[in-house]
Structure 1
C-alpha cells in the first residue's frame, strides 16, 4: 500500500471466510503484484521531485489521474451510487485518510532514503491484524501469526541496521510512522464498508476526494507548482497508472479473496521492492543486516504461499 491502496469492503461482523476458499491462490498473486507496483512508487515520486514537483502538486496530479481512470471504469460498469451516509464515509476516507497517509509517506521521502521509508511503513500489518482481531473481522490462526511474526522481525532488523549507513532525519522517520498508523486505520475503516459496495466506485470516490483535499491544501499554502523539467509529467503518469490504478486494482481483487490481515502481510513484499529499486536507481546503500531483514520479511510471503492460504479456514484456525 504504496502504502496508499483502496480496500475491498467485507462484512463488518464475523471473520472473513474468503481466506480459505480456492480463489485465494489468485488473491495471493494479486496482492503480490500490487505490492510490486506500490513498491515502485518511491522511485517514481523521487523522480517527480527531481523534476520540480512539490509533494502536494504531485499528489494532486497522481490522485486526479487515477480518479479519472476509475471514473471511466465506473461509467462502463454503471454501479448504483451509495446513500448520503456511505458517500460521506467514502469521501472522508479519501479526503482525510488516504490524503494524510500519502502526504506523510511522500513527505518522508524528501527527508530519508526511500528504502527506509518503505521499511517503516510496514509496521502497519501488525496494527491491521490487532484491530481486525479486536473487532472480530478476522480469525486467528497459527499460520497468520507466524507470518506476521516473520514480517515484524524482519522489519526490526531492517530498521535496526538502517542507522549504520549514516545519520537519519528524525522528522522523516516520524512522518513514515505516521503514514503507517494512518494506513492501518484507513484499511480497518474501509474494510467495514458494505460487502456489495462496488470496489471501482469506491476507488473513484476515494481518489477524487484525495485529489481535492491535497489540491486545496496546495492552493492555500501556495505549494502547487508545475515541474521544471518535462520529464516530470512522464514520472507522474507512471506513478498514477502503475502505483495507483494497477496497484489499487490488484489489491482490490486480492483483498476480497484473502481478507485484510493476509493481504496486509503479503504486502510486506513492497518494502523489499522499494529497497531494491532504490539501490538500482539511486545507489542507496543497504548493509548485510538489512538484507537479512528483507529475507525474513519475504519468509512471511512463503508461509502464506497459495497452497497454504487455500486450505479450509477450519483447518487453518487453531
Structure 2
C-alpha cells in the first residue's frame, strides 16, 4: 500500500508547481488556452510514444472504456484550463485554496455516486474547511476584494477535479497504466481544444519560450501525475487519494511565494493549517468507516 500512497503523493506535489509556472508564462504574453492545450497535447504525444514502443501486447480496449476514459480526461483537462484561467484574475495562492475545495466535494461524490458513506462528522469537517478557506483568503474584507469571476472559475475547477478523482478510481482499472493515461490525456487535449477552438484556430506562438513553459507544464502536469495517479488511485481509493492530494496546496503556496513573490500573511497560514487538518481528518474518518 505504501508504494501506491507515495505515487499519489508525488503526483500531487508535481501538480503544486503548475499555477506558478502558468502565471509566469502569462508574463511573457501567453494565455491559458494556449498553454493548457499544448501542455495536454505534448503530454499525450509522449505517453502514446511510450505505449507504441512497449513490447508487451495488451487486450483491445472496448469502445465503452475508450469513451469513459476520454470523458475522465475531459474532466482533468477542463480542470487544468479553468485553474490556469483563474490565476489570471486572482493570486495563485488563492486559486489553489479554492481548488482544494475538491476534497470535501470528492467525499460527497464518493458517498452519493459510489455509496461510500463518510460518517456523521462530515458536516463538522466541511464547516472547518470553509472557515479555514475564509481565513486563508485573508478574511471577509480581503475575500470581498478578490475577483468574483476568478473565485467562481477556481471553484468550477475544484468540482471538475473531484469528478476526475472519483472517475479515475473506477474507470478502466484493468487497462495498463501507461495506455490508460495516454487515453485520458488525449481526452484532456480534445476537451481543451473544443472549448477554446475560437482562440486556438488563430494559431499558436511556436517560439522557444512558449515551448519552454508548455514543456515544463506538460512534464509536471500531464506526464508524471496521470501515470502515478492511474497506478495509485485505483489501489487506495478516491477518498484516501484526496487526503494525499492535499500536498498540492502547501507546494503551490510555497511556489507562489518564492517564484511569484506573493505575500502570505499569518492569518492565511492559520487558515491553511485549519484546512489541512480538517481535510485530513475528514478523509481519514471516511477511510476508517
| TM-score, length basis structure 2 | 0.85
Residue of structure 2 aligned with 1:59, choices 33, 36, 40:
36
- Bigger helix share: 2
Partners of 1:297 and 1:40 in 2: CA distance: 19
Partners of 1:48 and 1:224 in 2: CA distance: 19
Shift of the alpha carbon at 1:204?
Answer: 0.8
Shift of the alpha carbon at 1:201?
Answer: 1.8
Residue 232 (structure 1) aligns with: 210
1:251 aligns to 2:251 (yes or no): no
| TM-score, length basis structure 1 | 0.78
The 5-angstrom pairing of residues 270-285 of structure 1 reads 270-285=248-263
1:89 aligns to 2:68 (yes or no): yes
Residue 4 (structure 1) aligns with: none
Shift of the alpha carbon at 1:224?
Answer: 5.2
1:37 aligns to 2:14 (yes or no): yes
Partners of 2:238 and 2:76 in 1: CA distance: 17
Which range moved further: 278-287 or 152-161? 152-161
Shift of the alpha carbon at 1:146?
Answer: 8.6
Structure 1, gaps ≥5 residues long: 1-22
RMSD (Å) for aligned C-alpha atoms: 3.1
Contact 2:106 2:162 in 1 (8 A): yes
Contact 2:134 2:271 in 1 (8 A): yes
Contact 1:35 1:269 in 2 (8 A): yes
Structure 2, gaps ≥5 residues long: none
Shift of the alpha carbon at 1:202?
Answer: 2.1
The 5-angstrom pairing of residues 10-29 of structure 1 reads 23=1, 25-29=2-6
Shift of the alpha carbon at 1:274?
Answer: 1.0
Residues 271, 224 of structure 1: CA spacing in aligned structure 2 closer, same or farther, 3 A cutoff?
Answer: farther
Contact 1:35 1:270 in 2 (8 A): yes
1:203 aligns to 2:181 (yes or no): yes
Residue 80 (structure 1) aligns with: 59
